[in-house]
């Protein structure tokens, strides 16, 4: 009996051990599955403007004030990573379907700014383009400091879309002569060619342009760049290589695009982080004259651009006349939680377009 008991208890011990190890294996598998599950993001198949937009590992995308370029069948999205307070790195994401974005990493870190300005300077509205002549990616950004009087362009160059980009220089591309004395601090601060909200545009002929709010945001400047896209084309001649456009109209957040031979430019008013009505202008030449056509947004909250501010217009690959309006719905108190408003629009046969709100949509909405 004792032996039976012993045997029995032995068997039971054996079973117990097995059951225990089975339980631990199952627990391990469960933990693994759970953590894998947290990493494994559900594939997105639609846009949901204003909702949190997770990247391919489930982290909210950090690419505010950004822009998207396309290379081959891949889209690259650059923008402000605002997850670390008072720092803004330039992040890069990539996608082949526009819904699912993989974080490529920090394309340009604030730490890579020149030492003399590094501590005080942050980066806004970075944009990058590909230069077919040099085979390089060129990034322009608005460099700013407390008080928003630094107002300079930062230029960086990289060999790969995801970077790292190397800083080239910082500058105010145009020093428009208002006749103010050099030592006049206020006029020089505000009118000495200030460089704030910005974008880049590459025309069909390969010429690139920087578009930015200047003159203390009163007037937009459009400046043709040199062959490397790293500085203005020289010699600079107003009306030929650069132009003052939408003069004294106080427009910013420029989002240029081209359809056929016509240039279009969506802008916002200047009310800081708060939304205001968008405007779009058209021109037959990128340097103008630009004719304002009013607010392209229609429907509820159109007068606030659906509570957002333009940042870029993305031509949809392979779909002529189809574009995505990209805007930021800023949350000033929690900037990293600012949301993306992406809305589709088509240019009609008469060359006009409207943008209306959608809670959700997918690329099939471009189908005829
Ligand atoms: C907005 C601008 C943003 C940011 C903000 C700061 O006018 O579009 O990019 O600079 O002001 O208040």
Q: What is the pLDDT of residues 31-62, one digit of tens each?
A: 444 444 445 568 999 999 999 999 999 999 99
- Please give the backbone phi and psi of residue 187, each rounded to the nearest 5 degrees, phi first: -65, -40
User: What average pLDDT does this structure show over 64-74?
Assistant: 97
Question: Residue 214: pLDDT above 60?
Answer: yes
pLDDT at 16: 47
Is residue 191 a contact partner of residue 172, using CB atoms and an 8 Å limit?
A: no
Helix and strand counts by DSSP (H, E) for the chain: 3, 21
275 touches ligand 1 (CB under 6 Å): no
Tens of pLDDT along 84-122?
A: 777 799 999 999 999 999 999 999 999 999 999 999 999
Mutate to test the pocket of ligand 1, among 86, 88, 122, 124 (most ligand atoms within 8 A of CB): 124
Q: Which residue has the tokens 């396309």?
A: 70
Cβ neighbours around 279 below 10 Å, total? 21
252 touches ligand 1 (CB under 6 Å): yes
The angle subtended at Cα 202 by Cα 201 and Cα 208, nearest 5°, is: 85
Say how many Å lie between the CA of residue 267 and the centre of ligand 1. 13
Question: Residue 15: pLDDT above 50?
Answer: no
Query: How many residues belong to the chain?
Result: 368
Question: Residue 4: pLDDT above 50?
Answer: no
Q: Are strands 262-269 and 279-283 parallel, antiparallel or unpaired?
A: antiparallel
Question: What stretch of H or E contains 19?
Answer: helix 2-39
Tens of pLDDT along 220-258?
A: 999 999 999 999 999 999 999 999 999 999 999 999 999
206 touches ligand 1 (CB under 6 Å): no
State the Rg of the chain over Cα. 26
DSSP string over 79-142: EEE-SSTT--EEEEEEESSSS--EEEEEEE-GGGS-HHHHTTEEEEEEEEEEETTTTEEEEEEE
């Amino acid at each position: 009996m004792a032996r039976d008991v012993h045997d029995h208890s032995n068997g039971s011990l054996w079973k117990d051990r097995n059951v225990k190890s089975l339980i631990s294996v199952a627990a391990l598998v469960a933990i693994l599955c759970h953590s894998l599950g947290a990493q494994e993001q559900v594939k997105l198949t639609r846009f949901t403007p204003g909702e949190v937009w997770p990247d391919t590992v489930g982290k909210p995308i950090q690419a505010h004030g950004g822009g998207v370029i396309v290379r081959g069948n891949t889209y690259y999205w650059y923008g402000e990573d605002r997850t670390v307070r008072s720092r803004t790195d330039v992040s890069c994401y990539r996608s082949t379907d526009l819904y699912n974005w993989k974080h490529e990493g920090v394309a340009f870190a604030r730490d890579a700014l020149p030492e003399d300005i590094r501590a005080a300077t942050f980066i806004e509205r970075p944009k990058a383009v590909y230069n077919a002549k040099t085979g390089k990616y060129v990034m322009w950004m608005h460099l700013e400091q407390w008080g928003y009087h630094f107002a300079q362009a930062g230029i960086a160059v990289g060999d790969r879309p995801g970077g790292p980009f190397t800083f080239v220089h910082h500058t105010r591309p145009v020093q428009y002569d208002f006749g103010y004395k050099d030592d006049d601090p206020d006029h020089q601060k505000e009118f000495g060619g200030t460089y704030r909200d910005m974008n880049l545009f590459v025309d069909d002929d390969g010429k690139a342009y920087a578009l930015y709010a200047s003159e203390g945001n009163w007037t937009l400047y459009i400046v043709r760049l040199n062959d490397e896209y790293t500085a203005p084309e020289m010699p600079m001649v107003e009306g030929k290589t650069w132009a003052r456009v939408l003069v004294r109209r106080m427009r910013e957040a420029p989002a240029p695009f081209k359809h056929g031979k016509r240039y279009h430019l969506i802008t916002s008013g200047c009310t800081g982080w708060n939304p205001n009505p968008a405007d779009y202008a058209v021109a037959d030449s990128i340097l103008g004259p630009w004719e304002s056509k009013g607010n392209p947004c229609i429907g509820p909250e159109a007068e606030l651009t659906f509570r957002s501010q333009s940042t870029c217009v993305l031509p949809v690959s392979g779909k002529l006349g189809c574009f995505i309006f990209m805007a930021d719905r800023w949350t000033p108190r929690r900037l990293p939680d600012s949301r993306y408003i992406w809305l589709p629009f088509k240019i009609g046969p008469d060359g006009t377009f409207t943008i209306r709100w959608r809670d959700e949509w997918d690329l099939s909405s471009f189908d005829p």
